[in-house]
Amino acid sequence: MITMSPANAVPLTMGVSEYDHLRDLVDGRVEVQGVDLRCLTLPVEELFFRFTQFREWDVSELSMGKYCALRSRGDDSLRAIPVFPSRMFRHSAIFVRADGPVDDPAALRGGRIGIPEWTVTATIYGRALLQYEYGVGLEDVRWVQGGTNEPGRIETLPTALPDGVRVERVSDASLTDLLVAGELDAVIAPHPPHALTDGSGRVVRLFSDPTAVERASFAATGVFPIMHVIALRADIDDAHPWIAGNLVRAFSEARDRSLARVRDMNASRLPIPWGAAEANAAFDAFDGEPWPYGLEPNRTTLDAFLGYAHEQGVCAKRLAPEDLFEERVHASFRI
């Protein structure tokens, strides 16, 4: 571990979204040894766009799909550490009309499905689960790209689509509008369509009990989807190669503090009934590691995702989990 006096600490700016398991790092209660850290908290879409396009700060939360796409193309300007601030099962991110094929995902074969971007991590997982769990292949769907609730969204990264797969771009209507109008059969998106949350009942989730389906999927595959990763600019990593390891330690300490809070049986640290009981159940379901960092505890998930991303044309070549992180990071830290 590198320890430096405050006067010699390396100034870094980091952009992340708001999470309880990052809170103690963002507010300074957990320090990164040798670093004078300044944190920006922004919506994830803004973080991803600005950091991917302009590298406006030194360290950032980043889309896992976009990072893997860049890495597969030989772009070494960003280097990730095995810290994953956002993970979500994505069966619950597929939406249909209330009169659509609820609990019948195979019925989407031959239909039109909207996505915000081909490289959005949630859509990579969504397309994969339709393909591998329900037999709806990439070429079996007419894909439509556009903004989920606002028209005009464009692809951040160019992608070479697999043979037989086509994506139509729509710029004059939102995916939600098209779904409600019957011009789409489903939407896969991390942000729900407004018509799901406006009380109208026009849009519902594809699975009426998504939690049960997601639990069954995890039991069968061992995949706990990783959505986001933490990445450093390569020039920072080259100049200070010890920073990556110190960041991993700090993120891990902040996570452990958060997990201790949610398991506190003495006081309700989160405004959720039975929060501590749910947290303890998650520890049991995940063998004591409900939010693992590091390479080895996440190998199954990383390997599956890299396979999906390559098959879908997001990654230019098939990467191995080791290809995502510098060897000195994943070999030295067992977090």
* Number of Cβ within a 10 Å radius of residue 325: 23
**Structure-token match 């949610």, residue found:** 262
pLDDT at 5 over 70: no
Instruction: Quickly state the pLDDT bin for 320 (edges 50, 70, 90).
Output: very high
Taking only the tens place, the pLDDT of each residue in 53-100 is: 999 999 999 999 999 999 999 999 999 999 999 999 999 999 999 999
Give the span between the Cα atoms of 175 and 119, in whole angstroms. Answer: 16
- CATH (one of 3.30.70.580, 2.60.40.3080, 3.40.190.10, 3.40.50.920) for 91-221: 3.40.190.10
pLDDT at 321 over 80: yes
**Could you tell me where the DSSP H helices lie in the chain?**
20-26, 44-54, 64-72, 121-134, 175-180, 194-197, 210-221, 234-239, 243-262, 275-285, 299-311, 327-332
Give the span between the Cα atoms of 112 and 175, in whole angstroms. Answer: 11
Instruction: Quickly state the pLDDT bin for 3 (edges 50, 70, 90).
Output: very low
In DSSP notation, 82-114 reads: S--S-B--SGGGEEEETTS-TT-GGGGTTSEEE
SS3 label, residue 57: coil
Q: What confidence score (pLDDT) does residue 265 get?
A: 87
pLDDT at 2 over 50: no
Give the span between the Cα atoms of 301 and 212, in whole angstroms. Answer: 19
Q: What confidence score (pLDDT) does residue 157 get?
A: 86
Give the span between the Cα atoms of 92 and 210, in whole angstroms. Answer: 5
Q: What confidence score (pLDDT) does residue 298 get?
A: 97
Q: What share of the chain is helix, strand, coil (3-state, %, to 5)?
A: 40, 15, 45
Share of the chain above pLDDT 70, in %: 96
State mean pLDDT over 91-110. Answer: 98
Q: What confidence score (pLDDT) does residue 257 get?
A: 97
Instruction: Quickly state the pLDDT bin for 335 (edges 50, 70, 90).
Output: very low
Strands 35-41 and 10-16: parallel
Taking only the tens place, the pLDDT of each residue in 130-178 is: 999 999 999 999 999 999 999 999 998 888 999 999 999 999 999 999 9
CATH topology of domain 6-87+226-332: D-Maltodextrin-Binding Protein; domain 2 (3.40.190)
Taking only the tens place, the pLDDT of each residue in 177-229 is: 999 999 999 999 999 999 999 999 999 999 999 999 999 999 999 999 999 99
* Number of Cβ within a 10 Å radius of residue 265: 9
Compare 272 and 143 and report the one with higher pLDDT.
Answer: 143
Share of the chain above pLDDT 90, in %: 91
Tell me what the pLDDT averaged over the chain comes to: 95
Q: What confidence score (pLDDT) does residue 334 get?
A: 52
Strands 78-81 and 228-233: antiparallel
pLDDT at 18 over 90: yes
- Return residue ranges of the chain for CATH 3.40.190.10: 6-87+226-332, 91-221
